[in-house]
Amino acid sequence: MPLTLTLTPNFSEPGKRYFRAFSPGDDFYEMLIEAHRDLSDEQSAMLNAKLILLLANHIGDLSVLREALGHARDGV
């Protein structure tokens, strides 16, 4: 796990070969939008909350999470 928040493109899937730089990011974005398909706004908000908790636990490092929270709060 890195000690600081990664802000450069970082998506990939082990064992998968990408011929185009935009593909892994687009793969992720499609998965994300697809996960919300047919949900109400309230259901989507719940999905997002659960997703953040799952990913936060996976990252674990509170200094990284603090940095991410700062960037997310910025300008909102």
Partner 1 sequence: MLKTYTYPKYEYQQPQEQKERSAARYPVVIVGAGPVGMAAAIDCRLQGIPVVLLDEDDTVSIGSRGVCYAKRALEILDRLGVGDRVVEKGVSWNVGRTFFREEEVFNFNLLPEPDHKRPGMINLQQYYLEQYLVERCVELGVDMRWKNRVVSVQRMSDGVRLTIETPDGTYGIEADWLIAADGARSPIRKQMNLEVDGKVFMDRFLIADVVMKADFPAERWFWFDPPFHPNQSVLLHRQADSVWRIDFQLGWDADPEEEKKPANVIPRIKAMLGDEREFELEWVSVYTFQCRRMQEFRHGRVLFVGDAAHQVSPFGARGANSGIQDTDNLVWKLKLVLDGKAPERLLDTYSTERVAAADENLMNSTRSTDFITPKSNTSRMFRNAVLTLAEHHSFARALVNSGRLSVPAFLADSTLNTADADEFSGAMVPGAPMDDAPVGVDGKKAWLLDQTGNRFQLLYFTDVAERLGGKLDELRGLSMDPVPVEPVIVSEKAGAAAGVRVLHDLQHLVARRYDAREGSVYLLRPDQHVVARWRKFDAHKIRAAVARATCN
**Chain positions contacting partner 1, by CB under 8 A:** 6-10, 19-22, 25-26, 28-30, 32-33, 36, 39, 41, 44, 48, 71, 75
Q: Least distance (Å) from partner 1 to the CB of residue 54?
A: 17
Query: What's the CA angle centered on 13, arms 71 and 43, to 5 degrees?
Result: 55
Per the listing, tokens 């919300």 go with: 36
CB 3 within 8 A of CB 64: yes
The residue among 8 and 57 lying less far from partner 1, judged by its C-beta, is: 8
> Token pair of 49, please?
């909350």
- The residue (of 10 and 63) whose beta carbon lies closer to partner 1 is 10
